[in-house]
Structure 1
């Protein structure tokens, strides 16, 4: 019988809420400091002060409820087995690669009469182990509960929630807030063999990256107009948030190694939009990504292809 997500969340320790709040309070300031350094964008500007605009604030709320998008999510009744396999994914993948290489070694030794006896008795066992590893990985890839949860294509661990306003107010900062779903964070942390604190740092960095890339003002006081942001393709919005999340966590690996590990472990299980930034990390400088983001925001373009074009142009312009 399928198991509902709400059933699983009801079993998460109530103490998780306090742990998530404590991690939020302990790390928010540092995360924002790194984001300001990386993006060189400010939530508060002198231009806004001169205009008499209220200070831009993005409250971070720890929410006990289940996001509506997850209400009907269920898992197969072999969930316990899948969770065990999930903890050993890396070992299984390494074993698969190692056994493939081992078969090549066995075949080479078998061609030499003087050494064939070394592997004759071990070959059937190696093949049997290879088949076992493959079948376990096939099962895990088909029914990985974490991949199933993250594949909902929505914000399931936390959300950057922004308020649209009238077209003629697009030059003014919009209201926004961040929600952290503590029960989902707690459950996901269990599945990752991470702590709620590690995952809170990751989720908070991601949602604050959304806030800074959208509401952060450049040197001219310009932000990402909320109407354009709302219509922008998910690969751009999530790609930028993930890009700066990785930058933050990479800089904090010494202090928060668990958050970095959680990020690395989650990434291959997330939808494609959450991996759009990987070529930007590998092939472009931080200066080029930042310049492309600023030009893209100013243009009010919405397509990933347009952002990619601006990224290429930025790399050329910077001569790197």
Structure 2
């Protein structure tokens, strides 16, 4: 394409030069005729000059033919350039179409990948939920097995008596049976839920029995301190405030690191206040403020102290 542009430029330059030469020659002939007329040159002389100029006509005609030839060449080169530009435009259109197709394919591939990722994520979530459910079932099954194991009574081991002098054996002493904690044969969670159900419905006696059975059967359970605390709560709700104070004391003494200690101390203070022991109640509330200043029970204890300190 650059070569075609250079060729067209050269042709146009030659054409411009030929036209300029012809125009210049005609202008000089006219100027010469006017000057001769001013000088008074005879007409015959002027005619001779004109004939001389006409003798140079073939040269001008040759130049005109050359100009026409250059024009034709210029037209051909212009057509070639037009064809070349059309080809480039078509090539550009083809490239643009290919780019659009590739972009569409990339968008589709991205959408498919996104869908696949979402599907895999959903599958993982469902699998995780199933694993969690399985773990819960395994834990419940383990508790059931442990409860059944503890419900099986142990056989006492006999103690052999001293050997008599004649080689015989003395009377066989039987060891006393080992005391076993009561075990209803159900899982810890189920036993705790049964006691909680009795507490929620106001069955105070049944609730105390249920929580007490839970503590004796599963003393190392994570809910043992809660069970002892709710024994105190049951007694408090039943109006047995003195017994409730003892239950709260037992909860804090048996499980000093349990998370129920601040609330047990607070409810102990309320029970003491109901018994009329204001000084002991004040000490209980102050203990919460001193030992658990950032707890929710500390805020309630401060309110209780403000109430007790009013005249």
Structure ID, larger Rg: 2
Normalised to the residue count of structure 2, the TM-score between the two structures is 0.27
The structure whose residues are more often strand, as a share, is: 1
